């Protein structure tokens, strides 16, 4: 089975930066509580009238530019989101219009909560096998501030808005992925169209237990399936929900903590956007070199989880028309 090669990434953040001290002005909390329990120091919130799909389109445009790929070379456009502005049109259709992707592009949204980007990579890989075009645009985008209860200190300090995108193609290098779902409508519930809850609600402890159960399984599963050892992997990029959860995975794997990139301090938990936001930060910081092997691993509401092997810019150059 052909593997996943990500050529490049791009991001878009809403303009409103909110620090932990700003959150402490809204609810009874403190920078000390939030940063020691989660590793989060600030996040970004959408302005009034700003939608996740707009961020998705901006991130997608930047990823295409960074990859040197033109919109007409895209055969698949997926937006992973649990906070779409509409049930229809999908965010992916609005991205198609905004970026001028061809009408033959397969465009749809994926809702697998915080595992959405991993689910979308796995789905895009399969769809590219039968696509006449060589590239997929895979985006994670969230406007979580629109469903956040800003009177509930146990959830409102955790989440942030943002989007990031990846341009991917198939490679002859190996593919490995594990994924799963376990229906649960108690631990993490986000309002949908016509559903009763007004705001996102979460049983933090139940989600923490779930995360430390499945995240190591995602990483181990990808290694086992690919026949690779942790030493063969350059970076593990986990969903950026909470530093303590990732620290647990590091300890469990007996791995070098430097291999586990973290940036939740800057963005909070941006759900489906968190893994591509991490990839883009790593790219921009010069940490990613052509041919590197990454494991991306996510967990989230649903429950859902997934891990996938990603090859970074195997050809080592941007691809132009």
Where in the sequence numbering do the catalytic residues fall?
A: 114, 239, 269
Smallest separation (angstroms) from ligand COA to the CB of 97: 30
Indicate the residue among 3 and 302 with the shorter CB distance to ligand COA.
Answer: 302
Q: Please report whether residue 12 would count as binding ligand COA according to CB under 6 A.
A: no
Determine which residue in the list 2, 37, 146, 199 makes contact with ligand COA, applying CB under 6 A.
37
Site for ligand COA in 211-230 (CB under 6 A): 211
* x/- track of binding to ligand COA for residues 239-278 (CB under 6 A): --xx--------------------------x---------
Q: Please report whether residue 46 would count as binding ligand COA according to CB under 6 A.
A: no
Indicate the residue among 93 and 188 with the shorter CB distance to ligand COA.
Answer: 188
Determine which residue in the list 2, 41, 153, 248 makes contact with ligand COA, applying CB under 6 A.
153
> By C-alpha distance, which of 231, 275, 84 is closest to 223?
231
Q: Which residue is nearest to ligand COA (CB)?
A: 204
One DSSP character per residue, 205-274 reads HHHHHHHHHHHHHHHHHHHHHHT--GGG-SEEEE--S-HHHHHHHHHHHT--GGGB---HHHH-B-GGGH
CB 109 within 8 A of CB 90: yes
Site for ligand COA in 158-197 (CB under 6 A): 188
First to last CA, the chain: 27
Number of amino acids touching ligand COA (CB under 6 A)? 20
Determine which residue in the list 207, 262, 295, 308 makes contact with ligand COA, applying CB under 6 A.
207
Smallest separation (angstroms) from ligand COA to the CB of 309: 22
Smallest separation (angstroms) from ligand COA to the CB of 182: 14
Indicate the residue among 159 and 175 with the shorter CB distance to ligand COA.
Answer: 159
**Applying CB under 6 A, which residues contact ligand COA?**
29, 33-34, 37-38, 114, 153-154, 157, 188, 202, 204-205, 207-208, 211, 241-242, 269, 300
């Amino acid at each position: 089975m052909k593997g996943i090669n990500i050529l490049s990434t791009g991001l878009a953040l809403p303009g409103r930066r909110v620090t932990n001290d700003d959150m402490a002005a809204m609810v009874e909390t403190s920078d000390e509580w939030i940063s020691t329990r989660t590793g989060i120091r600030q996040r970004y919130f959408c302005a009034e009238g700003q939608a996740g799909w707009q961020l998705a389109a901006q991130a997608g445009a930047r990823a295409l530019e960074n990859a040197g790929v033109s919109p007409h070379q895209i055969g698949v456009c997926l937006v992973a989101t649990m906070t779409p502005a509409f049930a229809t049109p999908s965010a992916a259709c609005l991205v198609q219009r905004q970026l001028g992707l061809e009408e033959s592009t397969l465009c749809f949204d994926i809702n697998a909560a915080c595992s959405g980007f991993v689910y979308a990579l796995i789905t895009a890989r399969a769809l590219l096998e039968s696509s006449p075009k060589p590239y997929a645009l895979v985006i994670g985008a969230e406007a979580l501030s629109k469903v956040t209860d800003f009177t509930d200190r146990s959830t409102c300090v955790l989440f942030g808005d943002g989007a990031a995108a990846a341009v991917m193609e198939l490679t002859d290098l190996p593919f490995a992925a594990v994924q799963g779902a376990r229906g649960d409508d108690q631990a993490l519930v986000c309002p949908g169209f016509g559903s009763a809850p007004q705001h996102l609600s979460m049983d933090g402890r139940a989600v923490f237990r779930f995360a430390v159960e499945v995240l190591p399984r995602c990483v181990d599963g990808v290694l086992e399936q690919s026949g690779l050892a942790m030493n063969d992997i350059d970076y593990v990029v986990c969903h950026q929900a909470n530093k303590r959860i990732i620290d647990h995975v590091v300890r469990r794997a007996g791995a070098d903590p430097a291999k586990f990139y973290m940036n939740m301090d800057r963005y909070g938990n941006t759900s489906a956007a968190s893994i591509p936001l991490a990839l883009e930060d790593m790219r921009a910081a010069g940490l990613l070199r052509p041919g590197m092997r990454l494991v991306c691993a996510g967990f989230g509401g649903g429950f859902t989880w997934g891990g996938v092997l990603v090859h970074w810019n195997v050809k080592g150059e941007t691809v132009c028309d």
